[in-house]
Amino acid sequence: MLPTIEMQADAVVMIDQRKLPAQEIYVHCKTANEVARAIKTMVIRGAPAIGVAAAMGIALGMRRSKVSGTKQFAIDFTRLCEVMAETRPTAVNLFWAIERMKRTFSSAVLSGQSVEELKVRLDVEAQAIHDEDLASCQAMGQWGAEIVPEHARILTHCNAGALATAGYGTALGVIRAAAAQGKVQKVFADETRPFMQGARLTAWELVRDHIPTTVITDSMAGPLMRDGQIDLVVVGADRIAANGDFANKIGTYTVATMAKAHGVPFYVAAPLSTIDMKTPNGQSIPIEQRSAREVTHLGAIQLTPDGASVWNPSFDVTPHALVTGIITERGILRAPYHDSLRALFAE
């Protein structure tokens, strides 16, 4: 299993995803601010992994606090939660994890726990968020493998793998589980401009797992579908709205539209922590704009002339009408998503 992120005694340690696949370097974040910076600068990325990192960052920050009174400790805790919430706006897992840490904190304070006890409680909760995400991915994989046909040629976009989660992955979890059942002939990984999560990270994970992998540029998926070379698409999500619309890496909408046009089943794999029942539809999902440099440059190489402006939304929204099914750790949801999502949360 890939070590995406780990909480150690004096640091939150994560593999530097900006450096992969050329270098496998681990970053030791010794403060909560360093964790926040790591999320912002994409040392760690992917919706569930961002949530885990934020929880661990909060736990680390509070563990290192020298404050002895509960009142000041609570003020510092609230401030840290705010710092984490400002890192990236689209992946709801971030806000879900922060809310969970807040609930844990409040109930521990209400039961009269000391500062030292609160520190332990936050550590335990952050680790639980990590462990539960891993278990969710594995469960999702088992459900998702059921819809993968024999000899499947699967397309995925971005990286929804072990690196984007506590381990195993959402979309790549489905692919891993299906591959373990001998069902996967080949995976097509969209390179995923501009940050290249598909070419760099998805391909790296799949090659390590000996799953046959072909990297394509994003514009090649359409002709492959037209030529009958793709049996199934499975992607992750950063936020699923209450009606089933979802945000994922820029380019997902194009893939979903192509899949619909060519009759290719299009699945989204995501844990419940990615589902935001408070967001009614895709139009209400905040979309992060990232720096122009991600588009104008590839590493140190400038690709565009000085003076050209850039539009760089990190995500797009795919309408629910293009989604064949949503694979969760509790099973596969089908349309109408407004009803199936509501039923899932009513359970």
- Residues 270, 170: contact at Cβ < 8 Å? yes
Q: How far, in Å, CA of 160 to CA of 120, rounded?
A: 31
Q: How far, in Å, CA of 64 to CA of 61, rounded?
A: 5
Please give the structure tokens belonging to residue 237. 């999500």
- Taking CB atoms, the residue at the shortest distance from ligand MRU is 236
* Between 61 and 173, CB nearer to ligand MRU: 173
Count the Cβ atoms, other than its own, within 10 Å of residue 338.
15
By CB under 6 A, is residue 165 in contact with ligand MRU?
A: yes
* Between 58 and 247, CB nearer to ligand MRU: 247
> Could you say which of 136, 170, 202, 296 contacts ligand MRU (CB under 6 A)?
170
By CB under 6 A, is residue 318 in contact with ligand MRU?
A: no
CA 157 to each of CA 69, 105, 199, 286: distance values in angstroms, whole numbers, following the listed order: 48, 37, 10, 20
* Between 38 and 108, CB nearer to ligand MRU: 38
Q: Which 133-162 residues touch ligand MRU, going by CB under 6 A?
A: 158, 160
Strands of 288-334 (E only): list them.
297-298, 301-302, 315-318, 325-328, 331-333
* Between 62 and 162, CB nearer to ligand MRU: 162
Count the Cβ atoms, other than its own, within 10 Å of residue 25.
13
Q: Which 71-100 residues touch ligand MRU, going by CB under 6 A?
A: 91
* Contact pattern for ligand MRU over residues 29 through 48, marking x by CB under 6 A: ----------------xxxx
By CB under 6 A, is residue 213 in contact with ligand MRU?
A: no
Phi-psi region of 151 (alpha: psi -120 to 50; beta: other; left: phi over 0): left
Q: Is the dihedral of CA 291, 296, 298, 300 positive or negative?
A: negative
Rounded least distance, CB 324 to ligand MRU, Å = 17
- Residues 158, 252: contact at Cβ < 8 Å? yes
Q: How far, in Å, CA of 215 to CA of 72, rounded?
A: 52
User: Is 76 marked active-site?
Assistant: no
Q: How far, in Å, CA of 177 to CA of 184, rounded?
A: 9
Catalytic residue among 231, 238, 276, 316: 238
Size of the site for ligand MRU (CB under 6 A): 17
> Could you say which of 121, 239, 249, 320 contacts ligand MRU (CB under 6 A)?
249
By CB under 6 A, is residue 236 in contact with ligand MRU?
A: yes
Which range touches ligand MRU (CB under 6 A), out of 62-70, 145-153, 208-216, 231-239?
Answer: 231-239
> Could you say which of 314, 318, 324, 328 contacts ligand MRU (CB under 6 A)?
314
Query: Which spans of this chain sit near ligand MRU (rule: CB under 6 A)?
Result: 45-48, 91, 158, 160, 164-165, 170, 197, 236-238, 248-249, 314
The residues annotated as belonging to the active site are 238
